[in-house]
Structure 1
Amino acid sequence: MSTPSFHAVILAGGRSARLGGHPKAALRHEGRTLVELTAEAVREAAGVVVVGPPELVLPEGVLRTREDPPFAGPAAGIAAGLRALEALPAAAWTMTLACDMPGVQAAVARLREAARAQPGAAGFLAVSPDGRRQPLAALYRSEVLRGACAGRDLTGRSVFSVVGDLPLGDVTVPGDATADVDTWDDVRRHHLT
Protein backbone atom coordinates (compact mmCIF):
# COMPACT_ATOMS: atom_id res chain seq x y z
CA MET A 1 0.00 0.00 0.00
CA SER A 2 1.43 3.38 -0.97
CA THR A 3 2.35 5.98 1.60
CA PRO A 4 -0.14 8.87 1.61
CA SER A 5 1.35 12.31 1.07
CA PHE A 6 1.45 14.62 4.07
CA HIS A 7 2.51 18.05 5.19
CA ALA A 8 3.76 18.88 8.67
CA VAL A 9 3.12 21.88 10.91
CA ILE A 10 5.67 22.14 13.73
CA LEU A 11 4.81 24.52 16.56
CA ALA A 12 7.86 26.25 18.04
CA GLY A 13 6.54 29.66 19.04
CA GLY A 14 5.60 29.41 22.71
CA ARG A 15 6.89 31.61 25.51
CA SER A 16 8.65 28.77 27.41
CA ALA A 17 7.57 30.49 30.62
CA ARG A 18 8.49 27.57 32.90
CA LEU A 19 11.98 27.61 31.39
CA GLY A 20 12.41 31.32 32.11
CA GLY A 21 11.86 32.18 28.45
CA HIS A 22 14.63 29.90 27.15
CA PRO A 23 13.25 28.70 23.80
CA LYS A 24 12.47 24.97 23.87
CA ALA A 25 13.07 24.63 20.14
CA ALA A 26 16.73 25.60 20.63
CA LEU A 27 17.43 23.02 23.35
CA ARG A 28 19.89 20.39 22.14
CA HIS A 29 20.08 16.62 22.28
CA GLU A 30 23.37 15.13 21.13
CA GLY A 31 24.23 18.37 19.31
CA ARG A 32 20.94 18.80 17.46
CA THR A 33 18.19 21.24 18.40
CA LEU A 34 14.68 20.02 19.21
CA VAL A 35 13.33 21.76 16.12
CA GLU A 36 15.92 19.92 14.00
CA LEU A 37 14.98 16.58 15.59
CA THR A 38 11.29 17.25 14.98
CA ALA A 39 11.87 18.23 11.36
CA GLU A 40 13.95 15.07 10.90
CA ALA A 41 11.03 13.00 12.22
CA VAL A 42 8.91 14.26 9.29
CA ARG A 43 11.67 14.24 6.65
CA GLU A 44 9.35 12.32 4.26
CA ALA A 45 6.74 15.09 4.33
CA ALA A 46 5.94 16.85 1.07
CA GLY A 47 6.26 20.16 2.93
CA VAL A 48 7.20 21.27 6.44
CA VAL A 49 6.49 24.59 8.10
CA VAL A 50 7.74 25.72 11.50
CA VAL A 51 5.57 28.24 13.30
CA GLY A 52 8.03 30.19 15.39
CA PRO A 53 10.18 33.27 15.85
CA PRO A 54 12.40 34.65 13.07
CA GLU A 55 15.62 34.07 15.01
CA LEU A 56 15.08 30.31 15.24
CA VAL A 57 17.54 28.47 13.00
CA LEU A 58 15.70 25.99 10.76
CA PRO A 59 16.86 23.09 8.62
CA GLU A 60 17.20 23.78 4.92
CA GLY A 61 13.97 23.50 2.93
CA VAL A 62 11.69 24.12 5.92
CA LEU A 63 9.20 26.98 5.64
CA ARG A 64 8.72 29.49 8.45
CA THR A 65 5.70 31.46 9.55
CA ARG A 66 4.36 33.08 12.70
CA GLU A 67 0.92 33.20 14.22
CA ASP A 68 -0.66 36.65 14.36
CA PRO A 69 -0.37 37.99 16.96
CA PRO A 70 2.72 36.15 18.20
CA PHE A 71 2.07 33.91 21.21
CA ALA A 72 -1.59 33.55 20.20
CA GLY A 73 -1.52 29.89 21.15
CA PRO A 74 -1.31 26.49 19.51
CA ALA A 75 -4.59 26.56 17.58
CA ALA A 76 -3.65 29.91 16.03
CA GLY A 77 -0.22 28.45 15.27
CA ILE A 78 -1.75 25.53 13.40
CA ALA A 79 -3.94 27.91 11.38
CA ALA A 80 -0.87 30.00 10.48
CA GLY A 81 0.97 26.86 9.43
CA LEU A 82 -1.92 25.75 7.23
CA ARG A 83 -1.94 29.16 5.52
CA ALA A 84 1.80 28.91 4.80
CA LEU A 85 1.39 25.42 3.33
CA GLU A 86 -1.16 26.72 0.80
CA ALA A 87 1.85 27.83 -1.28
CA LEU A 88 2.76 24.16 -1.84
CA PRO A 89 0.98 21.43 -3.82
CA ALA A 90 -1.82 19.91 -1.73
CA ALA A 91 -1.22 16.84 0.44
CA ALA A 92 -3.89 14.40 1.65
CA TRP A 93 -2.81 14.60 5.30
CA THR A 94 -1.39 17.20 7.68
CA MET A 95 0.63 16.25 10.74
CA THR A 96 0.81 18.60 13.70
CA LEU A 97 3.74 18.37 16.08
CA ALA A 98 4.98 20.34 19.04
CA CYS A 99 8.74 20.82 18.86
CA ASP A 100 9.25 19.82 22.51
CA MET A 101 8.86 16.03 22.27
CA PRO A 102 12.36 14.55 21.73
CA GLY A 103 11.03 11.03 21.06
CA VAL A 104 8.25 12.01 18.66
CA GLN A 105 9.70 10.04 15.73
CA ALA A 106 8.06 6.87 17.11
CA ALA A 107 4.67 8.62 17.14
CA VAL A 108 5.15 9.85 13.57
CA ALA A 109 5.72 6.30 12.35
CA ARG A 110 2.64 4.93 14.13
CA LEU A 111 0.40 7.75 12.90
CA ARG A 112 1.49 7.20 9.31
CA GLU A 113 0.82 3.46 9.65
CA ALA A 114 -2.71 4.25 10.86
CA ALA A 115 -3.33 6.49 7.83
CA ARG A 116 -2.18 3.73 5.48
CA ALA A 117 -4.48 1.23 7.18
CA GLN A 118 -7.52 3.55 7.31
CA PRO A 119 -7.18 6.01 4.42
CA GLY A 120 -10.75 7.31 4.76
CA ALA A 121 -10.41 8.37 8.41
CA ALA A 122 -10.65 11.99 9.55
CA GLY A 123 -7.43 11.70 11.49
CA PHE A 124 -5.52 10.15 14.35
CA LEU A 125 -4.17 11.32 17.70
CA ALA A 126 -1.14 9.83 19.42
CA VAL A 127 -2.11 8.40 22.79
CA SER A 128 0.40 7.59 25.52
CA PRO A 129 0.16 4.22 27.30
CA ASP A 130 -1.54 5.96 30.24
CA GLY A 131 -4.31 7.24 27.94
CA ARG A 132 -3.27 10.86 27.42
CA ARG A 133 -4.35 12.04 23.95
CA GLN A 134 -1.95 14.45 22.21
CA PRO A 135 -3.37 16.73 19.48
CA LEU A 136 0.13 18.05 18.81
CA ALA A 137 1.35 14.60 17.81
CA ALA A 138 -1.46 13.96 15.37
CA LEU A 139 -2.22 13.31 11.72
CA TYR A 140 -5.35 14.88 10.25
CA ARG A 141 -6.94 14.58 6.85
CA SER A 142 -5.95 17.99 5.45
CA GLU A 143 -9.42 19.12 4.39
CA VAL A 144 -10.83 18.10 7.80
CA LEU A 145 -8.23 20.13 9.71
CA ARG A 146 -8.63 23.12 7.38
CA GLY A 147 -12.41 22.96 7.82
CA ALA A 148 -12.08 22.86 11.62
CA CYS A 149 -9.87 25.98 11.57
CA ALA A 150 -11.68 27.96 8.85
CA GLY A 151 -13.50 31.18 9.66
CA ARG A 152 -12.73 31.11 13.38
CA ASP A 153 -10.75 33.40 15.63
CA LEU A 154 -8.33 30.91 17.17
CA THR A 155 -6.43 33.39 19.35
CA GLY A 156 -5.91 31.85 22.77
CA ARG A 157 -7.73 28.65 21.83
CA SER A 158 -6.54 25.16 22.68
CA VAL A 159 -6.15 22.59 19.93
CA PHE A 160 -8.78 20.36 21.56
CA SER A 161 -11.29 23.22 21.36
CA VAL A 162 -10.85 23.06 17.56
CA VAL A 163 -10.50 19.32 16.90
CA GLY A 164 -12.25 17.82 19.93
CA ASP A 165 -15.49 17.08 18.06
CA LEU A 166 -13.78 15.46 15.07
CA PRO A 167 -14.07 11.66 14.71
CA LEU A 168 -10.39 11.00 15.34
CA GLY A 169 -8.90 7.59 15.97
CA ASP A 170 -6.53 6.92 18.84
CA VAL A 171 -3.08 5.47 18.09
CA THR A 172 -1.17 4.15 21.07
CA VAL A 173 2.48 5.16 20.98
CA PRO A 174 5.44 4.41 23.26
CA GLY A 175 5.46 6.44 26.46
CA ASP A 176 8.48 8.54 25.53
CA ALA A 177 7.09 9.40 22.07
CA THR A 178 4.91 12.21 23.43
CA ALA A 179 6.84 13.04 26.61
CA ASP A 180 7.36 16.78 26.38
CA VAL A 181 9.75 19.32 27.83
CA ASP A 182 8.10 21.93 30.01
CA THR A 183 10.40 22.33 33.03
CA TRP A 184 14.11 22.21 33.83
CA ASP A 185 13.49 18.77 35.39
CA ASP A 186 12.21 17.65 31.96
CA VAL A 187 15.33 19.11 30.34
CA ARG A 188 17.51 16.99 32.63
CA ARG A 189 15.34 13.87 32.22
CA HIS A 190 15.64 14.08 28.41
CA HIS A 191 19.41 14.81 28.63
CA LEU A 192 19.06 18.15 26.85
CA THR A 193 21.38 21.13 27.00
Structure 2
Amino acid sequence: MPSDPALFDAVLLAGGRARRLGGADKPAAPVGGRPLIEWVAAAASGASRTIVVGPPRDVLPDAVRVREDPPGAGPVTALGAGLAEVRAPWVALLAADLPFLRPAHITALLDAAGERDGAVLVDDDGREQWLAGCWRAGRLRDALAAYTGASLRGVLGPLDPAVVALPAGDRPPWYDCDTPDDLARADGLARPDAL
Protein backbone atom coordinates (compact mmCIF):
# COMPACT_ATOMS: atom_id res chain seq x y z
CA MET A 1 0.00 0.00 0.00
CA PRO A 2 1.33 3.49 -0.77
CA SER A 3 2.78 5.20 2.29
CA ASP A 4 0.06 7.85 2.14
CA PRO A 5 -2.73 6.82 -0.23
CA ALA A 6 -4.30 10.28 -0.04
CA LEU A 7 -1.31 11.75 -1.85
CA PHE A 8 -2.41 11.29 -5.42
CA ASP A 9 -3.36 13.54 -8.28
CA ALA A 10 -5.88 12.52 -10.92
CA VAL A 11 -5.25 12.93 -14.64
CA LEU A 12 -8.45 12.68 -16.65
CA LEU A 13 -7.94 12.16 -20.38
CA ALA A 14 -10.82 14.08 -21.92
CA GLY A 15 -9.72 14.71 -25.48
CA GLY A 16 -10.04 12.36 -28.39
CA ARG A 17 -12.17 12.56 -31.48
CA ALA A 18 -15.14 10.39 -30.41
CA ARG A 19 -15.50 9.11 -33.97
CA ARG A 20 -18.10 6.49 -32.97
CA LEU A 21 -20.16 9.28 -31.42
CA GLY A 22 -20.04 11.40 -34.55
CA GLY A 23 -17.37 13.69 -33.11
CA ALA A 24 -19.54 14.72 -30.13
CA ASP A 25 -17.90 15.99 -26.94
CA LYS A 26 -17.99 12.62 -25.20
CA PRO A 27 -16.78 13.72 -21.73
CA ALA A 28 -19.58 16.30 -21.63
CA ALA A 29 -22.25 13.79 -22.66
CA PRO A 30 -24.89 13.39 -19.94
CA VAL A 31 -25.30 10.12 -18.09
CA GLY A 32 -27.78 10.00 -15.23
CA GLY A 33 -28.22 13.77 -15.42
CA ARG A 34 -24.54 14.76 -15.21
CA PRO A 35 -21.63 14.88 -17.67
CA LEU A 36 -19.49 11.76 -17.89
CA ILE A 37 -16.42 13.69 -16.80
CA GLU A 38 -18.14 14.71 -13.55
CA TRP A 39 -18.70 11.05 -12.67
CA VAL A 40 -14.99 10.35 -13.12
CA ALA A 41 -13.94 13.45 -11.17
CA ALA A 42 -16.23 12.35 -8.33
CA ALA A 43 -14.56 8.92 -8.32
CA ALA A 44 -11.21 10.70 -7.89
CA SER A 45 -12.54 13.14 -5.30
CA GLY A 46 -9.72 12.19 -2.91
CA ALA A 47 -7.11 13.57 -5.30
CA SER A 48 -4.92 16.48 -4.26
CA ARG A 49 -5.37 17.92 -7.76
CA THR A 50 -7.56 17.01 -10.70
CA ILE A 51 -5.93 17.61 -14.07
CA VAL A 52 -8.12 17.50 -17.17
CA VAL A 53 -6.39 17.00 -20.51
CA GLY A 54 -8.60 18.11 -23.37
CA PRO A 55 -10.46 21.02 -24.89
CA PRO A 56 -12.02 23.68 -22.68
CA ARG A 57 -15.52 22.93 -21.43
CA ASP A 58 -17.80 24.38 -18.76
CA VAL A 59 -17.40 21.62 -16.17
CA LEU A 60 -15.03 21.04 -13.25
CA PRO A 61 -14.12 24.70 -12.67
CA ASP A 62 -11.53 23.82 -9.99
CA ALA A 63 -9.58 21.43 -12.21
CA VAL A 64 -6.21 22.21 -13.75
CA ARG A 65 -6.77 22.33 -17.50
CA VAL A 66 -4.14 21.41 -20.06
CA ARG A 67 -4.12 20.43 -23.71
CA GLU A 68 -1.94 17.92 -25.49
CA ASP A 69 0.21 19.33 -28.27
CA PRO A 70 -0.89 18.92 -30.95
CA PRO A 71 -4.54 18.51 -29.95
CA GLY A 72 -5.84 15.06 -30.75
CA ALA A 73 -2.33 13.54 -30.83
CA GLY A 74 -3.42 10.53 -28.82
CA PRO A 75 -3.36 9.19 -25.27
CA VAL A 76 0.43 9.01 -24.84
CA THR A 77 0.82 12.69 -25.74
CA ALA A 78 -2.16 13.53 -23.52
CA LEU A 79 -0.61 11.57 -20.66
CA GLY A 80 2.56 13.63 -21.03
CA ALA A 81 0.63 16.89 -20.89
CA GLY A 82 -1.26 15.81 -17.78
CA LEU A 83 1.74 14.31 -16.05
CA ALA A 84 3.59 17.61 -16.37
CA GLU A 85 1.06 19.06 -13.90
CA VAL A 86 1.21 16.22 -11.36
CA ARG A 87 2.76 17.13 -8.00
CA ALA A 88 1.74 14.14 -5.86
CA PRO A 89 3.77 10.92 -5.61
CA TRP A 90 0.93 8.87 -7.10
CA VAL A 91 -1.30 9.55 -10.08
CA ALA A 92 -4.67 8.07 -11.02
CA LEU A 93 -4.79 7.93 -14.82
CA LEU A 94 -8.42 7.79 -15.89
CA ALA A 95 -10.53 8.02 -19.01
CA ALA A 96 -13.19 10.70 -18.78
CA ASP A 97 -15.97 8.32 -19.84
CA LEU A 98 -16.22 5.88 -16.92
CA PRO A 99 -19.61 6.59 -15.31
CA PHE A 100 -19.49 3.71 -12.83
CA LEU A 101 -16.02 4.30 -11.42
CA ARG A 102 -16.24 5.17 -7.70
CA PRO A 103 -13.83 6.36 -4.97
CA ALA A 104 -13.66 2.80 -3.57
CA HIS A 105 -12.24 1.62 -6.89
CA ILE A 106 -9.46 4.22 -6.76
CA THR A 107 -8.72 3.15 -3.18
CA ALA A 108 -8.57 -0.49 -4.30
CA LEU A 109 -6.06 0.43 -7.01
CA LEU A 110 -3.86 2.38 -4.60
CA ASP A 111 -4.01 -0.42 -2.04
CA ALA A 112 -3.13 -3.04 -4.66
CA ALA A 113 -0.13 -1.07 -5.90
CA GLY A 114 1.75 -1.94 -2.72
CA GLU A 115 5.48 -1.76 -3.38
CA ARG A 116 4.93 -1.97 -7.13
CA ASP A 117 4.94 0.87 -9.63
CA GLY A 118 1.22 0.80 -10.21
CA ALA A 119 -2.05 -1.06 -10.45
CA VAL A 120 -4.59 -1.34 -13.24
CA LEU A 121 -8.19 -2.52 -13.40
CA VAL A 122 -8.92 -5.58 -15.47
CA ASP A 123 -12.31 -6.29 -16.97
CA ASP A 124 -14.26 -9.50 -16.48
CA ASP A 125 -12.28 -11.06 -19.35
CA GLY A 126 -8.97 -10.23 -17.65
CA ARG A 127 -8.00 -7.44 -20.08
CA GLU A 128 -6.11 -4.48 -18.62
CA GLN A 129 -7.99 -1.20 -18.75
CA TRP A 130 -5.04 1.16 -19.16
CA LEU A 131 -7.20 4.24 -18.55
CA ALA A 132 -8.27 3.01 -15.13
CA GLY A 133 -5.12 2.73 -13.06
CA CYS A 134 -2.89 4.30 -10.41
CA TRP A 135 0.85 4.77 -10.85
CA ARG A 136 3.95 6.03 -9.07
CA ALA A 137 4.38 9.44 -10.69
CA GLY A 138 8.18 9.29 -10.80
CA ARG A 139 8.30 5.86 -12.46
CA LEU A 140 5.59 6.91 -14.88
CA ARG A 141 7.62 9.99 -15.87
CA ASP A 142 10.70 7.82 -16.44
CA ALA A 143 8.74 5.32 -18.52
CA LEU A 144 7.17 8.06 -20.62
CA ALA A 145 10.50 9.79 -21.21
CA ALA A 146 12.03 6.54 -22.50
CA TYR A 147 9.06 5.59 -24.71
CA THR A 148 8.82 6.51 -28.38
CA GLY A 149 5.60 4.74 -29.36
CA ALA A 150 1.94 5.73 -29.33
CA SER A 151 0.36 2.97 -27.21
CA LEU A 152 -0.56 3.38 -23.55
CA ARG A 153 0.04 -0.34 -23.13
CA GLY A 154 3.58 0.22 -24.40
CA VAL A 155 4.22 2.81 -21.69
CA LEU A 156 2.35 1.22 -18.81
CA GLY A 157 2.71 -2.52 -19.40
CA PRO A 158 6.48 -2.65 -18.70
CA LEU A 159 5.84 -1.11 -15.26
CA ASP A 160 4.45 -4.54 -14.31
CA PRO A 161 1.39 -3.25 -12.46
CA ALA A 162 -0.70 -5.21 -10.04
CA VAL A 163 -3.95 -6.22 -11.69
CA VAL A 164 -7.17 -5.46 -9.88
CA ALA A 165 -10.28 -7.48 -10.65
CA LEU A 166 -13.41 -6.07 -9.03
CA PRO A 167 -16.95 -7.44 -8.99
CA ALA A 168 -18.69 -6.28 -12.13
CA GLY A 169 -22.43 -6.47 -11.67
CA ASP A 170 -24.54 -4.32 -13.99
CA ARG A 171 -22.30 -1.26 -13.53
CA PRO A 172 -18.66 -2.37 -13.88
CA PRO A 173 -16.11 0.31 -13.03
CA TRP A 174 -14.35 -0.11 -16.38
CA TYR A 175 -17.52 0.42 -18.43
CA ASP A 176 -16.74 3.14 -20.95
CA CYS A 177 -19.03 4.96 -23.35
CA ASP A 178 -17.76 4.79 -26.92
CA THR A 179 -21.02 4.54 -28.89
CA PRO A 180 -24.54 5.98 -28.66
CA ASP A 181 -25.73 2.58 -27.42
CA ASP A 182 -23.09 2.59 -24.65
CA LEU A 183 -24.26 6.04 -23.56
CA ALA A 184 -27.93 5.06 -23.62
CA ARG A 185 -27.27 1.93 -21.57
CA ALA A 186 -25.14 3.85 -19.04
CA ASP A 187 -27.80 6.54 -18.78
CA GLY A 188 -30.46 3.96 -17.98
CA LEU A 189 -28.26 2.25 -15.41
CA ALA A 190 -27.24 5.54 -13.75
CA ARG A 191 -30.77 6.87 -13.22
CA PRO A 192 -31.76 7.06 -9.53
CA ASP A 193 -34.44 4.41 -9.88
CA ALA A 194 -31.80 1.99 -11.26
CA LEU A 195 -29.26 2.55 -8.48
Same fold by TM-score, threshold 0.5 exceeded? yes
Deviation at 1:21, TM superposition (A): 0.6
Map residues 33-52 of structure 1 onto 2, 5 A cutoff: 33-52=35-54
Give SS of 1:150's match: helix
Instruction: Please tell me the residue identity of whatever aligns with 2:21.
Output: L
In the alignment, the residues of structure 2 paired with residue 74 and residue 152 of structure 1 have an alpha-carbon distance, to the nearest angstrom, of 13
In the alignment, the residues of structure 2 paired with residue 174 and residue 98 of structure 1 have an alpha-carbon distance, to the nearest angstrom, of 20
Instruction: Please tell me whether the aligned partners of residues 107 and 137 of structure 1 are also in contact (alpha carbons under 8 angstroms).
Output: no
In the alignment, the residues of structure 1 paired with residue 23 and residue 5 of structure 2 have an alpha-carbon distance, to the nearest angstrom, of 39
Q: C-alpha root-mean-square deviation of aligned residues, in Å?
A: 1.9
Residue 150 of structure 1 is matched in structure 2 by 145
Residue 28 of structure 1 is matched in structure 2 by 30
Match of 1:104 among 94, 101, 120: 101
Deviation at 1:3, TM superposition (A): 2.9
Deviation at 1:70, TM superposition (A): 0.5
In the alignment, the residues of structure 1 paired with residue 90 and residue 42 of structure 2 have an alpha-carbon distance, to the nearest angstrom, of 18
In the alignment, the residues of structure 1 paired with residue 58 and residue 161 of structure 2 have an alpha-carbon distance, to the nearest angstrom, of 33
Instruction: Please tell me the residue identity of whatever aligns with 1:84.
Output: E
Deviation at 1:2, TM superposition (A): 4.8
TM-score by length of 2: 0.87
Residue 128 of structure 2 is matched in structure 1 by 133
Give SS of 1:179's match: coil
Instruction: Please tell me the residue identity of whatever aligns with 2:90.
Output: W
Residue 63 of structure 1 is matched in structure 2 by 64
Deviation at 1:109, TM superposition (A): 3.1
Size of the aligned set, in residue pairs, is 183
Instruction: Please tell me whether the aligned partners of residues 4 and 92 of structure 1 are also in contact (alpha carbons under 8 angstroms).
Output: no
Is 1:182 aligned with 2:178? yes
Unaligned runs of 5+ residues in structure 1 are none
Is 1:92 aligned with 2:94? no
Q: How has the CA–CA distance of structure 1 residues 18 and 40 changed in structure 2, closer, same or farther, with 3 Å as cutoff?
A: same
Give SS of 2:154's match: helix
Unaligned runs of 5+ residues in structure 2 are 191-195
In the alignment, the residues of structure 2 paired with residue 96 and residue 111 of structure 1 have an alpha-carbon distance, to the nearest angstrom, of 11
Give SS of 1:125's match: strand
Deviation at 1:4, TM superposition (A): 4.2
Instruction: Please tell me whether the aligned partners of residues 143 and 156 of structure 2 are also in contact (alpha carbons under 8 angstroms).
Output: yes
Deviation at 1:161, TM superposition (A): 1.5
In the alignment, the residues of structure 2 paired with residue 160 and residue 46 of structure 1 have an alpha-carbon distance, to the nearest angstrom, of 26
Give SS of 2:71's match: coil
Instruction: Please tell me whether the aligned partners of residues 110 and 119 of structure 2 are also in contact (alpha carbons under 8 angstroms).
Output: no
Percent identity of equivalent pairs: 40
Deviation at 1:130, TM superposition (A): 1.6
Instruction: Please tell me the residue identity of whatever aligns with 2:64.
Output: L
Deviation at 1:166, TM superposition (A): 1.4
Match of 1:191 among 183, 187, 191: 187
TM-score by length of 1: 0.88
Deviation at 1:184, TM superposition (A): 1.0
After the TM superposition, which parts of structure 1 deviate over 4 Å for at least 4 consecutive aligned residues?
A: 151-154
